[in-house]
Amino acid sequence: MNRLLKTIEEDVFETRRCLHQIPEPGLEEYKTSKWLQDKLASLGVPYEIVDNTGIIALIKGKKPRKTIAFRADIDALSVSEESNFEAHSTHDGFMHACGHDGHMSMLIGLANLLTMDTAEVNDDIVMIFQPAEEGPGGAENIVKSGILKKYGVDEIYGIHIFPGIEQGKIGLCPGPMMAMTGEFDIDIVAKSAHGAMPHTGIDGLVIASECLLGLQTIASRNVEPTDPVVLTIGKVVGGERRNIIAGNVRMEGTLRTFSQEVYDKMVYRMKTYLNGIASAYEIEIKLVVRDMYPPVVNDVNLFDEFWEIGGDKCELIKPQMISEDFSYYQEAVPGLFYFIGSYNETKGHVYPLHSSKFNFDNNVLMDGIESYIGLLSAKGSISLSESIE
């Protein structure tokens, strides 16, 4: 890290400490948004509000050839914190357990650098502080608002702290990187009866067990083995007492894949399978599917450019079955999403995203800012008094 980055280090760390203490759910990030607005104002960066709590900031270039956007998500999770981070959440039941406090801190750090007298900004830089990434998907609202067109965004970059990669490394891949996802509910309308007289009822739990196993055969027997797909039923609710045949049962799950064609086929086969089970038991089974985020697909040209800039810090990773609403931006303009490694066994930073114990070394923030600056410098979009080492 060069001396220029060192000058903003403590401010970046303090930004994280402040934001980490005020985690808020999607579309309710009012304290977070106010803190960010005040910080941008103190740096002299103009901004506008979108979708109530979202912020679009603009640093104008002196001779812009293009507009480059960076996105940071600002919402938190309904998780009670158990991490060893020095500044705990002050909002009971909520925590920045997915690193969004870090993402905001990196983007504020970038704004800090680019507003210094030592920085010459050539291209227009747009900074998107986006609400509701964890749900219901704030990126879609921002894209639909026309913000990307209004600012003439040519390309966009997203970043995510990731404990699946060693600290100091950057993980990414060309093309599909994160899965599209959907949620589904299955309601089995069966018939309750006394446990000693099962023949007088229709056992919803037995049917649910059959469905739980049978649905897995759709992925294993109806989809080509080379097409990744995951169907997970994570919650089953049914039954009243140990001696009562269960009536109605609800099953809740998710569906993930990288292909719209595979996704549609899975949904179709789920419907036909469940209709068959319902007919066999002479009951009603209701299936409700909610399409969520599209797949994150990295632009190949942006990947190649970034890979060359990053050098030996870059690590080629396999596509991940987790999802991200950054995908909505990529449907509108070329985009690149990448992971900043945070796994550090020595410091105990080994817990996964969404864990109540998730934490990372503050130096990970500087790795992210360094990647931003390195990218912009290589493109000729900015010029700093000192080059990134």
pLDDT tens for residues 166-176?
999 999 999 99
> What does the pLDDT read at residue 45?
98
How many domains does the chain divide into?
A: 2
Q: Render pLDDT for 265-284 as a digit per residue (tens, 0 to 9).
A: 999 999 999 999 999 999 99
Q: Are 92 and 149 in contact (CB under 8 A)?
A: no
Residue 111, φ and ψ in degrees, nearest 5: -60, -40
Does residue 387 have a pLDDT over 80?
no
Q: Render pLDDT for 174-192 as a digit per residue (tens, 0 to 9).
A: 999 999 999 999 999 999 9
Q: Collapsing DSSP states into helix, strand and coil, what is residue 201?
A: coil
Residues 200 and 315 occupy one common structural domain = no
Last residue within a domain, chosen from 259, 291, 323: 291
Q: Render pLDDT for 40-66 as a digit per residue (tens, 0 to 9).
A: 999 999 999 999 999 999 999 999 999
Q: Is residue 389 part of a domain?
A: no
**Where residue 116 sits, what CATH number does that domain have?**
3.40.630.10
**Where residue 251 sits, what CATH number does that domain have?**
3.30.70.360
Does residue 389 have a pLDDT over 90?
no
Q: Is residue 388 part of a domain?
A: no
Residue numbers of the domain that contains 224: 180-291
Please compute the mean of the pLDDT values over residues 14-31 and round it to a whole number: 98
Q: What residues contact 312, with CB distance under 8 A and at least 6 apart?
A: none
Q: Is residue 332 part of a domain?
A: yes
Residues 247 and 322 occupy one common structural domain = no
Residues 145 and 192 occupy one common structural domain = no
Q: Is residue 130 part of a domain?
A: yes
Which two structure tokens, joined as six digits, stand for 68? Answer: 């480059």
> What does the pLDDT read at residue 231?
97
Q: Render pLDDT for 288-307 as a digit per residue (tens, 0 to 9).
A: 999 999 999 999 999 999 99
Last residue within a domain, chosen from 291, 324, 349: 291
Residues 174 and 188 occupy one common structural domain = no
Please compute the mean of the pLDDT values over residues 335-352 and round it to a whole number: 98
Residues 139 and 222 occupy one common structural domain = no
Does residue 388 have a pLDDT over 60?
no
Residues 236 and 279 occupy one common structural domain = yes
Q: Render pLDDT for 195-239 as a digit per residue (tens, 0 to 9).
A: 999 999 999 999 999 999 999 999 999 999 999 999 999 999 999
> What does the pLDDT read at residue 2?
73
d(C-alpha 97, C-alpha 95), whole Å:
5
Residues 164 and 40 occupy one common structural domain = yes
Cross-strand bridge partners of residue 47: 57
Last residue within a domain, chosen from 235, 261, 291: 291
Please provide the average confidence, as pLDDT, over all residues in the chain: 96
> What does the pLDDT read at residue 386?
63
Q: Is residue 7 part of a domain?
A: yes
Q: What residues contact 335, with CB distance under 8 A and at least 6 apart?
A: 155, 156, 157, 158, 298, 299, 302, 326, 329
pTM of the model: 0.93
pLDDT tier at 4, thresholds 50, 70, 90: confident
Please compute the mean of the pLDDT values over residues 117-121 and round it to a whole number: 93
Give me the long-range contacts of 247-250 (CB less than 8 A, separation at least 24). 247/189, 247/190, 247/191, 247/192, 247/201, 247/204, 248/187, 248/188, 248/189, 248/190, 248/204, 249/187, 249/188, 249/190, 249/204, 249/205, 249/207, 249/208, 250/185, 250/186, 250/187, 250/188
- Please identify every residue annotated as catalytic: 73, 134
Q: Is residue 327 part of a domain?
A: yes
Residues 81 and 99 occupy one common structural domain = yes
Percent of the chain scoring above 70 in pLDDT = 99
Q: Render pLDDT for 134-159 as a digit per residue (tens, 0 to 9).
A: 988 999 999 999 999 999 999 999 99
> What does the pLDDT read at residue 334?
98
Please compute the mean of the pLDDT values over residues 252-272 and round it to a whole number: 97
Residues 138 and 165 occupy one common structural domain = yes
Residues 356 and 303 occupy one common structural domain = yes
Residues 109 and 165 occupy one common structural domain = yes
> What does the pLDDT read at residue 3?
83
Q: Render pLDDT for 69-99 as a digit per residue (tens, 0 to 9).
A: 999 999 999 999 999 999 999 999 999 999 9
Residues 310 and 281 occupy one common structural domain = no
Q: Count Cβ atoms below 10 Å from residue 269 Cβ, excluding itself.
A: 18
